[in-house]
Structure 1
């Protein structure tokens, strides 16, 4: 009787193997969602493709947010469930205090404000790690993406 139970379990385990880690495609759709005198809200999407029969989890840890070459914030996300055999995106969102952007800018507060208002754009870089975990196995994806984004005033 025990053999009848063990054999289907073994077949199930063999058929649901992790062939390879999910494929990290890109980080894209970087944009300023809102900006005010107090903060700038930035979002982006991390695109993945999971070809495995099983899911897993992804988590971003300590992704540096760099604006115009100046590190202004660190972003982390909650654990995201990876769907089996599917393309999916992970939303990345960070709220950057405006004070951090302008005070760390070489031109100071006034120079940073004037530069941003005149250009209505800034270079935003996400640099860090997204970690995939399943069955005690983990793999880190290095993220390093820079994009020019428009400021909504």
Structure 2
């Protein structure tokens, strides 16, 4: 059974554990190991996750399969009518089962009644996840290189999906 639920502060350790299992596979051959470790420590340490949840108003979702957490997402409002999907990761052991699409659909179902017209995201330009997002109706709007410190950059596409 698949369940998507709002994650709480108590779930942030689970989000971090999932990220540390998923990222090395998701970014293998795309992001050098040193940068991967730096990014995980920067974005997914408990203090950073708590800040995202409590101070930056990120809504975190967990997807569970038979009671076991297998993926997560996070999104927030970034402009009037525009929400940004900050994170969407599904464990490699459950990929291909439609869980990522379920998470995106769930987020859109939450946003539409609130008059959101656009869902935006960043995806690494070399990550095959780009094709997943294109299949869901996202379009590349621009390229963006984000300086994350320590001499590292996120080399991304900014993609958007109209919610109309």
Q: Which structure has greater strand proportion?
A: 1
Fold shared per TM-score above 0.5: no
Instruction: Output the TM-score relative to the length of structure 2.
Output: 0.22
Determine which structure has the larger helix proportion and give its number.
2
